[in-house]
Amino acid sequence: MGLSKFSWVSGIAIVFLQLVTGSFGWGQHGHYVTCKIAEGYLTENAMAVVKELLPKSAEGELAAVCSWADLFAVRSHYYWSRALHFVDTPDFRCNYDYTRDCHDSSGRKNRCVTGATYNYTLQLMSACHNSASKSRYNLTEALMFLSHFVGDVHQPLHCGFLGDLGGNRIHLHWYRRKANLHHVWDTEIIDTALKRFYGSDLNIMIESMQKNITEDWSNYVESWEECDANCTVCPNPYASESVKLACKYAYRNATPGSVLGDEYFLTRLPIVERRLAQGGIRLAATLNRIFNSSCGLISNVGKGEQGVSFA
Ligand SMILES: [Zn+2]
């Protein structure tokens, strides 16, 4: 079956069976961690709206749908969404500029991870305050896309260089296995840490990070939550941080053909864990700002028309 012929699968449960991880963002584990951390910082009001919008199959758990946007079926059916998971930046500049960088490969403006983050925030906000928007947009999808993209923008190589497609073209070894640098940052560092330090139990990894947030990182949490005055969402500084981290940590000592082992793993894992935590805290802060007490979305939220998702 060719990609273009892949028809929309009814029922999210079936779509979940088609999980694809890899070069599309934090892998499944990374997105789960980010959203699980976010769940713990949602206000009562935001949690109520989130639960109202989640598909039934999520059983009230935001983290259950945070990899939805990476599903093979979703990416195939919503082909237009492929450019929305990342923003590539000019090689070796180590900086990000929305006007310069946020476009897809055909040059269409705003089609990148930061543009998508603005877009889905606006959809949810307009639905909060305008009943016509409730039926215009698919708010369940808007929530799932937003929760996914806030995670993606924190993965440093999602704001990597255009020339190597955010590390996807840098082929090397992760210990003994062949990998590419992008995949190392999406998945391998997290999975190696899970096995080595957390008994392959994702919940233990999450608990450890939650403890870090309330202890070692507690002084930073407030600044992570901040957004420019009166802004609801602010993905641009997250993308700037990411490309700087890509230059300082991801690309360093990771040239094509190299073998990455303990030295690379142990020095980069703290960066990955911090980015997952920041993503979670910032996703919660964003959802809390969108679904504040003036949001009129507590009941009768719109399910919208499938696929009408990029305003
Ligand atoms: Zn993604």
Q: What is the CA radius of gyration of the chain?
A: 18
pLDDT recorded at residue 4: 30
Cα 294 to ligand 1 centroid, rounded to whole Å: 30
Question: Is the pLDDT higher at 301 or at 206?
Answer: 206
Tell me how far apart the alpha carbons of residues 4 and 79 are, in angstroms, rounded to a whole number.
9
Cα 280 to ligand 1 centroid, rounded to whole Å: 15
The predicted model gives 103-113 an average pLDDT of 96
pLDDT recorded at residue 72: 87
pLDDT recorded at residue 9: 29
Cα 207 to ligand 1 centroid, rounded to whole Å: 24
CATH match for 19-84+95-290 among 1.10.575.10, 3.30.479.30, 3.60.15.10, 3.30.390.30: 1.10.575.10
Structure tokens at 37: 């951390």
Cα 282 to ligand 1 centroid, rounded to whole Å: 17
pLDDT recorded at residue 133: 80
pTM: 0.89
pLDDT recorded at residue 311: 59
Cα 136 to ligand 1 centroid, rounded to whole Å: 24
The tokens 């779509």 sit on which residue?
15
Cα 35 to ligand 1 centroid, rounded to whole Å: 13
Cα 277 to ligand 1 centroid, rounded to whole Å: 17
**For the chain, what are the domain ranges?**
19-84+95-290
- At residue 8, does pLDDT exceed 50? no
CA of residue 297 relative to chain centroid, distance = 24
Cα 270 to ligand 1 centroid, rounded to whole Å: 21
Cα 237 to ligand 1 centroid, rounded to whole Å: 18
CA of residue 202 relative to chain centroid, distance = 18
Cα 230 to ligand 1 centroid, rounded to whole Å: 27
3-state DSSP assignment of residue 184? helix
The predicted model gives 104-120 an average pLDDT of 97
pLDDT band at 297 (very low <50, low <70, confident <90, very high): confident
Cα 148 to ligand 1 centroid, rounded to whole Å: 6
Cα 77 to ligand 1 centroid, rounded to whole Å: 15
- At residue 20, does pLDDT exceed 50? no
pLDDT recorded at residue 23: 47
Cα 69 to ligand 1 centroid, rounded to whole Å: 6
pLDDT band at 302 (very low <50, low <70, confident <90, very high): very low
Question: Is the pLDDT higher at 199 or at 24?
Answer: 199
Residue 192's CB is within 10 A of a number of other CB atoms, namely 17
Tell me how far apart the alpha carbons of residues 307 and 77 are, in angstroms, rounded to a whole number.
8
Bridge partners (DSSP) listed for residue 173 = 178, 259
Cβ within 8 Å of residue 121, ≥6 positions away? 146, 232, 233, 286, 290
The tokens 């237009």 sit on which residue?
80
Tell me how far apart the alpha carbons of residues 208 and 213 are, in angstroms, rounded to a whole number.
9
Tell me how far apart the alpha carbons of residues 238 and 278 are, in angstroms, rounded to a whole number.
9
> Which of 252, 260, 88 lies closest to 166, judged by CA?
88
pLDDT band at 49 (very low <50, low <70, confident <90, very high): very high
Cβ within 8 Å of residue 35, ≥6 positions away? 62, 63, 65, 66, 147, 151, 280, 283
pLDDT tens, position by position, 216-244: 999 999 999 999 878 999 999 999 999 99
Cα 235 to ligand 1 centroid, rounded to whole Å: 15
Cα 108 to ligand 1 centroid, rounded to whole Å: 19
pLDDT tens, position by position, 121-173: 999 999 999 888 888 899 999 999 999 999 999 999 999 999 999 999 999 99
